[in-house]
Amino acid sequence: MTFTLNKQERLKSRKHIEQLFKEGKSVSAFPFRVLYLPVVAANTLLPIPLQAGVAVSSKHFKKAVHRNKIKRLTREAYRLQKNSLQQKLTETGKQLMLFFIYTGRELPDFLLVKEKVQVILDKLIRVVDENRSPHT
């Protein structure tokens, strides 16, 4: 079990991000909203089963220092807890794109971020389980 978040695991492709915002579904756990999109099309296969991105509104946080801190906290919480979702995706042979959007207006502490990221990942595991095809 590795706790890494390397370049391949980050959602960077503009094409993928646009597709995610256009076609993706969302789950919420305040102060986060997460867009997710199961990858099914052959032309958008990801190098690994799970890719994620993080965004913070510059409307609510004027200072880049604060936006970057929230993104760092979110990525760290995700990095430490993503293994269960990654394992489930590997078992089912599925791929998923995620995009965390921080919608709160106050700077969070790490415990809150970690707790909410866990709630979201649990919801996503349930979604992956529900979408299992009947013949597997």
- Whole-model pTM: value is 0.90
Given a cut of 90, is residue 4 above it in pLDDT?
no
| CATH number at 9-126 | 3.30.230.10
Residue extents of the structural domains in the chain: 9-126
pLDDT given for residue 47 in this prediction: 74
Q: Which long-range contacts (CB under 8 A, 24 or more apart) does 109-118 make?
A: 110/73, 110/76, 110/77, 112/31, 113/70, 113/73, 113/74, 113/77, 114/77, 114/80, 114/81, 116/29, 116/30, 116/31, 116/32, 116/77, 117/32, 117/74, 117/77, 117/78, 117/81, 118/77, 118/81
pLDDT at 42: 45
Model confidence pLDDT, tens digit, residues 13-70: 999 999 999 999 999 999 999 999 988 754 556 778 899 999 999 999 999 999 999 9
